[in-house]
Amino acid sequence: MFFQTILFLVLYWLPGISSEGHLDVAIVINGSGTIASNNDDFVCATLDWWPSEKCNYNQCPWGGASVLNMDLNHPILANAIKAFKPLRIRIGGSLQDKVVYDVGNLGYPCEPFSKMDDRLFGFSKGCLSMARWDELNLLFQNTGAVMTFGLNALIGRYHVRNGIWSGAWNSSNARDFIDYTISKGYPVDSWEFGNELSGHGIGARVGVEQYGKDVINLRSILDELYKDSSLRALLVAPGGFYEQQWYSQLLEVSGSGVVNAMTHHIYNLGAGNDLNIKHKIIDPQYLSQIEDAFRGLQLTIQRHGPWSSAWVSEAGGSYNSGSPVVSNAFLNSLWYLDQLGMASKYDTKVYCRQSLIGGNYGLLDTETFIPNPDYYSALLWHRVMGKGVLSIDLSGSPHLRAYAHCRKDEGGVTLLLINLSKYAEFEVSVHNKLNVDLDDGVFINKNNSFVHSLKRTVSWFGRKGSDGYEKREEYHLTAMNGNHLGREMLLNGNLLQLTEDGNIPDMNPVYVPVNSPVSVAPLSVAFVVFPQFEARPCA
């Protein structure tokens, strides 16, 4: 115990020994067990309903990116989805509670959204034809996508005052739509009930008692329609901004086993025209503020609905279509990857990025479909960060963010390092807490100083040890020519760009001696894979 205490004290003070602009940092990964877990399809992206007339801040960045008008045959779109094997896609957004489905007895023509300034969100109702639904499902089946669909939860209700909507949900149109979907064999993984109607709402809100009754109604519909099908679908809700009292009441009103996942939204960087966004992204204290929402939802589920789980079903960083300066730039990946890491620590199973395409925050460019930097960040996470989340102890500057997971589909551990500093380069030594808990003799050589041993930045990976010749994998993401507001990303110094035939490029690591320190450049990201790192749950 004495030597364990000494180890942590030494690790804590090591950064103070380093020179200006170059910081030595020690990270201790606890390989004894996981603190949380993700789904295999943790990385998710949204498709939205916004038509080309959706404008903010004198710009209209949606173009042909709506669920209703997107070019579903674009080869880059298909290749971008296929690369994830699989990518979860959530169809939803502000206009989903104004969407009707052209199935059964709709009673009026199926038409797209039109601009109507006096209506909710400035648009009329819109209609999803079954021909378009068939085309969407063909894309999803051909690319292996996993689908979450957001249902219209306002239909049948009436506006009372000040955004308050009353009355019971009219489920008939949704029921016909779900029935059609099942009859066609379309494997919708989950149905989300409503969009941002919870708590204070965004544009519209529904009381929790009525909402809970409606969710029970939807559960009974799903149970009935799926009873003779080999398919099954989850019910997720409410797709709003986390408010503790409303969320806990929903779980209590709806009851055990009804809501499979509690979904919430995150736009913690503020409005898309906020000039301070680029400063917020590199401010560790600001980024950490949203941690309260992740922690709060985790506790709410534990106390009021342990049958449920936490999902982020929409997160765009900046709201109102995102920032035209930052949301599609390299710098945004620092925020995005930090979000994925932070959400994981609090047992978030799914994290849906707004959006796959559309707005300024699309993973793909709205006009060309060419991937933006965050696309590659998402893909790399998906390929190397496994489901099991490990705890870490990190000494040194708060500008180094670090998250550890089991390696994806293989033994070992992957460490994500995010350098938020403009000026400091970090030299990171990685240690295994399993060794700290071993007998003192494993580490202490009486002929050498303990501090001297640490300063050699030897990485102790566990009882497996290392012969000094083993390698680790490193994936360093940096901005092209140091332009952090540019849209070009380098992987290990090589430009990430589509191949000549429009395919996603290979994303290969560099191999580094396992016991050398990890160098993380200013305003950059590093994924580090330790294949031989001993972690009991990651075998």
Across the range 332-359, mean pLDDT stands at 98
Amino acid in the structure at residue 38:
N
pLDDT above 90: percentage of residues in the chain: 86
Q: Mean pLDDT, the chain, as a whole number?
A: 91
Per-residue DSSP letter, 482: G
**Which among 510, 477, 508, 474 has a CA at the least distance from the CA of 491?**
477
534 is written with which tokens?
A: 């001993």
| Active-site position among 192, 243, 314, 534 | 314
Told to judge if 314 belongs to the known catalytic residues of this protein, a careful annotator would answer: yes
Q: What value does the mean pLDDT take over residues 98-119?
A: 94
329's enclosing H/E stretch is none
pLDDT band at 293, cuts 50/70/90? very high
Percent pLDDT > 70 in the chain is: 90
Q: What does the block give as tokens for 234?
A: 């989850």
488 is catalytic: no
pLDDT in tens, 123-142: 999 999 999 999 999 999 99
End-to-end alpha-carbon separation of the chain, Å? Answer: 27
Average pLDDT over residues 364-393: 98
At residue 461 the predicted structure's pLDDT band, cuts being 50, 70 and 90, is low
pLDDT digits (tens, 9 = 90+) for 429-448: 999 998 754 333 333 222 33
Q: Which of 20, 53, 135, 196 is catalytic?
A: 196
366 with 62: CB under 8 angstroms?
yes
pLDDT value for 64: 97
Q: pLDDT at residue 535 above 80? A: yes
pTM score: 0.92
Q: What would the mean pLDDT of 381-394 be, rounded to a whole number?
A: 97
pLDDT of residue 35: 98
Angle subtended by helix axes 244-254 and 291-304, to nearest 10: 30
pLDDT given at position 102: 98
**pLDDT tens for residues 183-229?**
999 999 999 999 999 999 999 999 999 999 999 999 999 999 999 98
Is the per-residue pLDDT at 115 higher than 70?
Answer: yes
- What residues contact 475, with CB distance under 8 A and at least 6 apart? 380, 384, 491, 492, 507, 509, 510, 526, 527, 528, 529
Mention every residue, 6+ apart, whose C-beta is less than 8 A from residue 427.
18, 22, 23, 24, 25, 457, 517, 518, 519
- The pLDDT-based confidence of 107 (bands split at 50, 70, 90) is confident
| 356, 46 contact by CB (below 8 A) | yes
pLDDT higher than 90, residue 459: no
* Interval 465-487: pLDDT, tens: 444 458 999 999 999 999 999 99
**Dist. CA 501–CA 97, nearest whole Å:** 39
**pLDDT at 435 (0 to 100):** 76
| pLDDT bracket for residue 104 (50, 70, 90) | confident
pLDDT digits (tens, 9 = 90+) for 265-289: 999 999 999 999 999 999 999 999 9
User: Is the predicted pLDDT of residue 451 greater than 50, yes or no?
Assistant: no
φ, ψ of residue 222 in degrees (nearest 5): -65, -45
State mean pLDDT over 231-259: 97
Examine the pLDDT at 16 and tell me if it is beyond 80. no
User: Domains plus CATH for the chain?
Assistant: 23-35+394-439+469-530 (2.60.40.1180), 38-388 (3.20.20.80)
Tens digit of each residue's pLDDT (9 = 90 or more) over 54-90 = 999 999 999 999 999 999 999 999 999 999 999 999 9
